[in-house]
């Protein structure tokens, strides 16, 4: 088992390059199934979740080649059976996108119920509601969701909750359906727009992505394409938060500043200086931060996937902050870990009340999920002394070269095996 060891207290300086967006990549890779040609996808992050979804396509019969660290070439024509078993998909929430892609291509899909981060109940009722509107039936049998249609015909879907996953899945199922599908109350996240752009580059007709009404006019064929994935909004936000916690002056490159607006606004409210350029942001922190309140919302609101990271910074801000998690039921499991470092946080349902302390102190902690793991790194960078983070496989699911990138901007960070003697003496 591997751990990350951080000696806190170093200020961060220099430049860091953000990788392609995980959540766009895990939607775009399954979308390739719909293509009648070969797709070359660039700016793909080299992380577990992406490698896993690519592996799933490979095991289903697709040809998957990694041309270099960030480029995949996928030819889906070898996929003959629209079935993804539990063994293949259990580690990945986004494997549910196989449902929409396989249904769109084969009019049939059998996909095991997905895994992924555990932040409470993760229903798929809105995905299935969309498939039903398009004419598909579904049953759940032996842990598999089985969806099937004689033919897919466009229709009107109103989502009861704004769901990224349901919006993606319905777009994927509708892209080759007969006629027009309208998705109302659709998610507006940057990766929804990226998926629509990818589908359109294959010859699809998807309009309105990025607004709350998406219209998909079905087409018969989709060709191969070459497409470059957008930068990762959450990875960028994580580095911004790290500078805000540890202090320093870092240029964060390969970002779309517009995608970071809600994060930038919150950090500025706390007293961080942020300069925006065409495709980079410079983050400067040179004083103790002010408290603030944060409520997570679907895009363009403050992203739930940045909630643990912002909470980590607030543990050392001046005053009392309230964090309201309005998307997921149970996304405060990491609070226990921050308390080990001296944070004063109380949780009541979807609210966390954080009393800012002067200084966190290093401690042994766990990454309870992907973004919780990012929060541990951030807290550790700002803490005094040594922090050991366990269960880092969660972090590696979503952050490319995280240790190398932080070390390059001055963090005292390393990855070690648990049987490494340096850990025992820590």
Q: Which residues bind to ligand UD1, rule: CB under 6 A?
A: 23, 26, 93-94, 122-127, 161, 163-166, 187, 304-305, 327-328
Q: Smaller CB distance to ligand UD1: residue 16 or 186? A: 186
Q: Smaller CB distance to ligand UD1: residue 26 or 341? A: 26
CB of 162 to ligand UD1, least distance (A): 7
Q: Which residue is nearest to ligand UD1, using beta carbons?
A: 165
CB of 381 to ligand UD1, least distance (A): 23
CB of 136 to ligand UD1, least distance (A): 15
Q: Smaller CB distance to ligand UD1: residue 164 or 317? A: 164
Strands 108-112, 83-84: pairing is parallel
**Torsion sign, CA atoms 375, 379, 381, 387:** negative
Separation between Cα atoms, residue 416 and residue 117, nearest integer Å: 24
Separation between Cα atoms, residue 19 and residue 236, nearest integer Å: 9
Residue 373: left (phi > 0), alpha (psi -120 to 50), or beta?
alpha
CB of 11 to ligand UD1, least distance (A): 30
Q: Smaller CB distance to ligand UD1: residue 99 or 124? A: 124
Among residues 39, 117, 245, 292, the one annotated as catalytic is 117
Strands 144-148, 156-158: pairing is unpaired
Q: Smaller CB distance to ligand UD1: residue 133 or 341? A: 133
Q: Is 117 among the catalytic positions?
A: yes
Separation between Cα atoms, residue 194 and residue 192, nearest integer Å: 5
Among 195, 301, 305, which residue's Cα sits nearest to residue 241?
A: 305
Q: Smaller CB distance to ligand UD1: residue 9 or 300? A: 300
Q: Smaller CB distance to ligand UD1: residue 250 or 370? A: 370
Separation between Cα atoms, residue 403 and residue 341, nearest integer Å: 20
**74 - beta bridge partners?**
39, 64
CB of 408 to ligand UD1, least distance (A): 26
CB of 128 to ligand UD1, least distance (A): 7
CB of 246 to ligand UD1, least distance (A): 25
By annotation, the residues acting in catalysis are 117
């Amino acid at each position: 088992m591997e751990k990350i060891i951080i000696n806190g207290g170093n200020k961060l300086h220099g430049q860091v390059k953000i990788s392609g967006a995980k959540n766009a990549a895990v939607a775009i890779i399954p979308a390739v199934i719909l293509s009648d040609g070969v797709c070359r996808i660039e700016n793909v992050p080299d992380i577990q979740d992406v490698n896993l979804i690519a592996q799933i396509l490979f095991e289903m019969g697709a040809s998957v080649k990694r041309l270099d660290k960030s480029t995949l070439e996928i030819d889906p024509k070898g996929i003959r059976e629209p079935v993804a078993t539990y063994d293949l998909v259990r580690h990945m929430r986004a494997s549910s996108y196989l449902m929409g892609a396989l249904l769109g291509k084969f009019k049939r899909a059998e996909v095991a119920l997905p895994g992924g981060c555990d932040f409470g109940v993760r229903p798929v009722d809105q995905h299935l509601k969309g498939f039903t509107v398009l004419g598909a039936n579904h049953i759940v049998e032996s842990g598999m969701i089985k969806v099937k249609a004689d033919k897919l015909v466009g229709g009107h879907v109103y989502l009861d909750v704004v769901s990224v996953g349901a919006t993606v899945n319905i777009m994927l199922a509708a892209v080759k359906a007969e006629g027009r599908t309208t998705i109302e109350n659709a998610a507006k996240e940057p990766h929804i727009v990226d998926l629509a752009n990818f589908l359109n580059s294959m010859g699809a007709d998807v309009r309105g992505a990025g607004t709350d009404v998406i219209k998909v006019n079905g087409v018969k064929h989709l060709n191969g394409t070459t497409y470059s994935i957008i930068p990762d909004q959450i990875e960028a936000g994580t580095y911004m938060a790290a500078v805000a916690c540890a202090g320093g002056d870092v240029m964060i490159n390969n970002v779309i500043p517009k995608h970071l607006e809600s994060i930038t606004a919150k950090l500025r409210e706390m007293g961080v200086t942020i300069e925006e350029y065409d495709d980079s942001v410079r983050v400067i922190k040179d004083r103790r931060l002010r408290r603030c309140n944060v409520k997570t919302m679907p895009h363009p609101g403050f992203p739930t996937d940045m909630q643990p990271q912002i909470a980590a910074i607030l543990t050392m801000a001046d005053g009392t902050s309230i964090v309201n998690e309005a998307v997921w039921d149970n996304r405060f499991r990491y609070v226990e870990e921050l308390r080990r470092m001296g944070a004063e946080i109380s949780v009541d349902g979807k609210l966390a009340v954080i009393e800012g302390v002067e200084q966190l102190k290093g401690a042994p902690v766990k990454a309870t999920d992907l973004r919780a793991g990012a929060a541990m790194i951030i807290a550790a960078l700002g803490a005094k002394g040594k922090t050991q983070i366990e269960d880092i496989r969660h972090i590696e699911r979503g952050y490319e070269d995280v240790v190398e990138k932080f070390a390059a901007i001055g963090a005292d960070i390393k990855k070690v095996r648990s049987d490494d003697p340096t850990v025992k003496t820590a």
